[in-house]
Every structure is written in C-alpha cells, then in structure tokens.
A = this chain, B = another copy of it.
Amino acid sequence: MEPTPVTADDRPADATRIARSRDADGTRQLLLDAARRRFARDGYTATTVRDIATDAGVNVALINRYFSSKEGLFEACLRRITLTIDRPNAAEMTVDRIIETIIDQVADQTGGDYSLQLLLLLRSSGDGRADQIRRDTIHSFAESIATAAGWRPGDADDDLLLRAQIALSTALGMVLFRSSIALEPVASASVERLRGPLGEVLSTLLSPQAERAPLG
C-alpha cells in the first residue's frame, strides 16, 4: 500500500545533519521525520512501518528497536509536536499576534512542518494513551490561545477557553480542507485572501468585546 509515494528528494535532505552510517540519534530523527509525514498525510492505520522505514532509508527493524512499536513511534511523533504559538513566552502574546500566527500557520501552503503537525493532531491510532497525548496537546494549545485573550487557569468562567477551542477547530478544519481534502477555492487561496475572513472569525471569537452577552 503506497497511497502517496515519496520520492527520495521529497524527504527533507537536512544537509546540516547528514545521516552517518552508524548514528542512533540521527536514525531516530530520520524515522521521526518520515513517520510524522506519513502519519499526518495518510493516517495511522494506512501507514505501514515499511513505508516509514523506506522513506527514512532505514531498516524496518530499527523502528521496534528505537520506539518499541509502531504505536510508540506514533506517540513519539505526538510528543514532538511544538506549535509556533507555544514557542515564544506565551505570556507576552497579544490577541492580535496570536491571530496573525494562526493565520500564517493555517495558510502555510509549503506543506511545511507546521501544517503537517496540525494535520497530525487530527489523526488517531485508536490507542487510548496516544489519544490522551493528542487531547492534552490540543488542550494546552487552546489554553495558550485563551491565555492571550485574557483567560487565566482556574477561571470559573471558561467561556474564553471554549472560544479558543472553537478558534482551533476552525484552524484545524482549514488545514484539513487545504492539505488533505484539497477543496477549492479554499485550498489554493493565498494568505492575503484568507487573512480577511479568517481574521474576522478569530477576532470575533477572541477579541474582548464590551457588548458580549454575559453567559446566561
């Protein structure tokens, strides 16, 4: 099963870290990169360990050596997810900067790592532990957004958290439409084209508005 054949030069030829013949850490990285790509694009069950090993240019057995199992490799991919929003000290993030970051990440058409990681967040292996990791990652991601909007951990009112999650669902849905489903015209819309409506949506959700109805 080879739904999306990956040519040799499609694999990120990281010139700075040439995979020497006997480098455990380097091999682990190659496997993680190939696995993330496969899992994100084709999903967990549709991806075979042989696919990943071939993409990484590495022997299949090493997946089990380094990650115990296919499931372990998937969990490692999930744990490796770091989104642009979480990288700077999120405490100083303003709503407008968060919104701009989300838009850039969603609109990233290069098939780069960030939209790939967003896509990975939507994949499930069916395993409970992996699903929990995924849930935690998304949740912490939503908390970062909500925090920028003024939410504080432990707030009795989680309206802002809810709104942040709705904003996230929009972002993830957009990534799905653009990279996986290829729905036109949204799939090939430029960043400039998306900035308008997406900005409106995210501002509506996250920007403080005096006239917002108090939770009934």
Q: Which residues of A contact B (CB under 8 A)?
A: 1, 3, 42-46, 122, 124, 126, 131, 134-135, 138-139, 142, 158-159, 161-163, 165-166, 168-174, 176-177, 180-186, 189, 192-193, 196-198, 200-201, 204-205, 213, 215-216
Contacts and interface: CB of A to CB of B under 8 A. Distances in A.
Contacts of A205: 197, 200-201
A127 to B, nearest CB: 9
A204 B199 CA distance: 10
A44 B1 CA distance: 14
Contacts of A3: 126
A166 to B, nearest CB: 6
A16 to B, nearest CB: 34
A183 B135 contact: yes
A190 to B, nearest CB: 11
A186 B162 contact: yes
Contacts of A173: 168-173, 176
If over half of A's interface residues share one DSSP class (helix, strand or loop), that class is named, otherwise mixed; here it is helix
A213 to B, nearest CB: 6
A146 B185 CA distance: 13
A186 to B, nearest CB: 4
Given A122-B176, A135-B183, A170-B170, A162 B46 contact: no
A170 B42 CA distance: 22
A209 to B, nearest CB: 9
24 contacts: A42-B126, A45-B45, A45-B46, A46-B126, A122-B122, A124-B180, A135-B183, A138-B177, A139-B183, A162-B185, A162-B189, A166-B197, A169-B174, A169-B176, A169-B186, A170-B201, A173-B173, A173-B176, A192-B216, A196-B215, A197-B205, A200-B205, A201-B201, A201-B204
